[in-house]
Amino acid sequence: DAGVTQSPTHLIKTRGQHVTLRCSPISGHKSVSWYQQVLGQGPQFIFQYYEKEERGRGNFPDRFSARQFPNYSSELNVNALLLGDSALYLCASSLATGGKSEKLFFGSGTQLSVL
Amino acid sequence: EDQVTQSPEALRLQEGESSSLNCSYTVSGLRGLFWYRQDPGKGPEFLFTLYSAGEEKEKERLKATLTKKESFLHITAPKPEDSATYLCAVYNTDKLIFGTGTRLQVFP
């Protein structure tokens, strides 16, 4: 079975540009979450989507947005890129939301570099 | 505010030298404590979930334990392939709150 897939794997952008990152969850998983991981830090929560609705949002500016499609895949969009947005962006999927055992399965991430 | 603190930041072990990693947490109502392994340039890989004080889980050379304030990841007779960053996280409503991780290096 395929795991969580993310594209692209690497991306280089310049300040002020826009970026779209894509994620396909494990088959049967309806919840997708996005995390940002800066080098040397643990992942930080950005968004959670379940059944195409936003169920949670972390402490990130409005430049960050996301959506989930009917096939449960998801996109993360970041506008007006800043140097500080350089990080590994991780997508994770799980079976459901709000349950006790929200075991998240992570993709390999998209490494974003902003120059 | 929910918080997770891991120690040490880095750990160097000789192959076969057992040790423990610590994860201290403060959370309003624990709904699960998670351990993940992360290799460079990869996403975190699930290891264990613990739910209540006194619970223990094992997988190969790894054993995770949980108290009301902290969790330990014990590594018995580690091998070089155990080298990775080990992340601890607590689950809160809609997200995992991660610590900064312990970077483990095991030398032959």
Query: In chain A, which residues have their Cβ closer than 8 Å to the Cβ of B94?
Result: 48, 55-56, 97-98
Q: How many residues does chain A have?
A: 115
Q: Are A111 and A84 in contact (CB under 8 A)?
A: no
Give CA–CA dist A101/A97, Å, rounded: 9
Residue-averaged pLDDT of chain A:
93
Query: Comparing C-alpha atoms, which of A99, A77, A92 is closest to residue A29?
Result: A92
Task: Name which of B45, B96, B100 is nearest A45 (Cβ-Cβ).
Answer: B96
Per-residue pLDDT band at A1 (split at 50, 70, 90): low
Residue B7: Cβ within 10 Å count: 14
Per-residue pLDDT band at B91 (split at 50, 70, 90): confident
Residue A99 has pLDDT above 60, yes or no: no
Nearest chain A Cα distance for residue B29, angstroms: 11
User: Residues with Cβ < 8 Å from B26, sequence gap 6 or more?
Assistant: B1, B2, B3, B69
Give CA–CA dist B108/B106, Å, rounded: 7
Query: In chain A, which residues have their Cβ closer than 8 Å to the Cβ of B89?
Result: 42
Query: Comparing C-alpha atoms, which of B25, B39, B46, B37 is closest to residue B87?
Result: B37
Query: In chain A, which residues have their Cβ closer than 8 Å to the Cβ of B96?
Result: 35, 43, 45, 102, 104
pLDDT in tens, A20-50: 999 999 998 999 999 999 999 999 999 999 8
State whether A4 and B41 contact (CB < 8 Å). no
Q: Are A27 and A2 in contact (CB under 8 A)?
A: yes
Query: In chain B, which residues have their Cβ closer than 8 Å to the Cβ of A42?
Result: 4, 87, 89, 98-101
